[in-house]
Amino acid sequence: MTAETLSKPASAAGPSRYSTVAIILHWLIAAALIFQVILGWRADDGPKGAETFALFQLHKSIGITILVLSVARLLWKFTHRSPPAPAGQPTWEKLAASAVHVGFYVIMIGLPLTGWIIASTSRINIPTVLYGLVPWPHLPGLPELAAGAKDAWNDFGHIGHSVLVKFTYVLLALHLGAVAKHQILDRDEVFGHMAAGAKPGIKEPRLWLAAAGFAAVVAAGYLYTPAKAKAPQPAPAESSADDLALPDEAPAAAAPAATQAGPATPAAPAETAEAVPPADSALKDPVAWAVQKGSHLDFNLAWADTPIQGRFSRWTADILFSPEALDRSKLTVSIDLASAGTGDGQRDESLQGPDFFNTSANPKATFTATKFRKTAEGRFVADGTLDLRGVKKPLSLPFSLKIDGDTATARGVTTLDRTAFGVGQGEWASTDQIPAKIKVSFALTAKKK
Ligand code: HEM
Ligand code: HEM
């Protein structure tokens, strides 16, 4: 019977191994899936910082790749013949093999689908860009759902994903155990179905190659470290940020009032300012200043315990300011929120979404100050209003200032409470992941207009 089966032409009994395409897909999917499980563990356990964020991006990318390959593999299976079971294999073994294989297709497709459901229903709405290159949509219909229904789908995705993960462990144990049994105990051709040319027995090099490959993929899963989040793009600059910085504790105390003053008489050009005696300063108009390239406006926050540095690359400032004419000084800073960069394109896109800046409804934040106080030599506070995300709140901005001829350098830092402006909706309104306090700082050079 055995001899008869073996001597039959392949077309009658079936091929002696899987087709090359099926074999390539099997090993590719197997390697990707094992790597993916390790990534999943690391991403799930890690602190919710920049590295975890990057691990999840890769987890999503590989998961979707597995989905595409598995659908291709399934289509191929339906249109191509598989090798027959070894002659004389008991029925229960055949059934068990089929059940494990069907189970694999369930997890190969079910895990990415449940993962995709999680990503599509997350409150933070992080877009998926496969390998940072190919935008991948959310599952249609899910992102638009009302909050309650969305949360229910999200729970379903999480539960489904973790149940299927456990099922995967069981299938893998059965599958690997079965391969070992066929290869070592039964000494039949089953391993050769998937490893062309393999002979039965423990000495078969392809078996050891598969074992080494398995170990290598597990090691790669643990060793992989995402590229460090890039430093935010500096504003188009000729000079570096450090060139501008005033020492925090030693502001420009030496700058005499007269040299910082505006024109000698209201009508006189600014260039004559150096000659103005202090006594006349009360009459002076504040000077208009033009912000120079290389100035920058930054924000710092923490995501879990990982610090994240951000920068606005587009903003303008209308500055009318003289230390001697504080009562008539004015400052308006207009910030293009869509220009916020934190070194990660996908995080930046989420920042603009409805949960954070909501830039489609509120493209700009504005800080307007008409009250200035001098707190020490070269140190001032601008008391104004910040209009962010449609919410207006008072904000005080302390800064140090040094004026040298026509050039002023200023630096300031303040903290604001993002929750007071509604930056962080839904699960992000809570401050356990992202603390409420956001540090905002600037360093600028300006020239008299
Ligand atoms: C996560 C990893 C793996 C997955 C998802 C997986 C999945 C599958 C599936 C679905 C099949 C059935 C093919 C079909 O008839 O359509 C199969 C067959 C097979 N797999 Fe895997 N596999 C994995 C890992 C491995 C490993 C590590 C080995 C070997 C060390 C292996 C050896 C085999 C062999 C020999 C067959 C052919 C069985 C037969 O005669 O039909 N697999 N695998
Ligand atoms: C075959 C593909 C996939 C495999 C093998 C896989 C595996 C895993 C594993 C092992 C975990 C850790 C879970 C735990 O330890 O309980 C995990 C978590 C996670 N995976 Fe996947 N995953 C796959 C596809 C995807 C895809 C495509 C996405 C998103 C598009 C995704 C999103 C997630 C998320 C958000 C978590 C955290 C889950 C939670 O907290 O419940 N996964 N995955």
182 CB within 6 A, ligand 2: no
Q: Are strands 437-448 and 407-417 parallel, antiparallel or unpaired?
A: antiparallel
Quote the ligand 2 centre to 348 CA distance (angstroms).
23
Q: Is the pLDDT of residue 7 over 50?
A: no
The length of the chain is 449
Q: Is the pLDDT of residue 310 over 50?
A: yes
- Predicted confidence (pLDDT) per residue in 201-236, tens digit: 999 999 999 999 999 999 999 999 887 544 333 333
Helix (H, G, I), strand (E, B), or coil: what is residue 258? helix
Q: Is the pLDDT of residue 65 over 50?
A: yes
Q: Which residues contact 429 (CB under 8 A, 6 or more apart)?
A: 419
Predicted local distance difference test score (pLDDT) of residue 239: 32
Predicted local distance difference test score (pLDDT) of residue 250: 31
- Predicted confidence (pLDDT) per residue in 152-201, tens digit: 999 999 999 999 999 999 999 999 999 999 999 999 999 999 999 999 99
Contact 244, 443 (CB under 8 A): yes
Quote the ligand 1 centre to 178 CA distance (angstroms).
10
Quote the ligand 2 centre to 167 CA distance (angstroms).
13
104 CB within 6 A, ligand 1: yes
The residue type of 408 is: A
Q: Is the pLDDT of residue 376 over 90?
A: no
Quote the ligand 2 centre to 37 CA distance (angstroms).
7
Quote the ligand 1 centre to 175 CA distance (angstroms).
7
Ligand 2: atom nearest CA of 41 is 12
Residue 344: band (very low, low, confident or very high) from pLDDT cuts 50, 70, 90: low
Q: Domains (ranges, CATH) in the chain?
A: 2-223 (1.20.950), 241-448 (2.40.128.110)
Of 48-52, 257-261, 378-382, which range is least confident?
257-261
36 CB within 6 A, ligand 2: yes
64 CB within 6 A, ligand 2: yes
DSSP code of residue 226: P
Residue 410 parent element (H or E): strand 407-417
Predicted local distance difference test score (pLDDT) of residue 318: 86
* Token pair listed for 308: 């994240």
Give the whole-angstrom CA distance, residue 441 versus residue 311. 9
Quote the ligand 2 centre to 115 CA distance (angstroms).
6
381 CB within 6 A, ligand 2: no
* Token pair listed for 347: 């995080």
Predicted model pTM: 0.62
Q: Which ligand is nearest to the CA of 66?
A: 2
Give the whole-angstrom CA distance, residue 356 versus residue 29. 37
Q: Is the pLDDT of residue 77 over 70?
A: yes
Give the whole-angstrom CA distance, residue 31 versus residue 257. 71
Backbone angles phi, psi at 446, to 5 degrees: -135, 150
Q: Which residues contact 216 (CB under 8 A, 6 or more apart)?
A: none
Give the whole-angstrom CA distance, residue 110 versus residue 66. 11
User: If you take atom 32 of ligand 2, which residue's CA is the nearest one?
Assistant: 115
Pocket test for ligand 2, best of 161, 167, 217, 346 (most atoms within 8 A of CB): 161
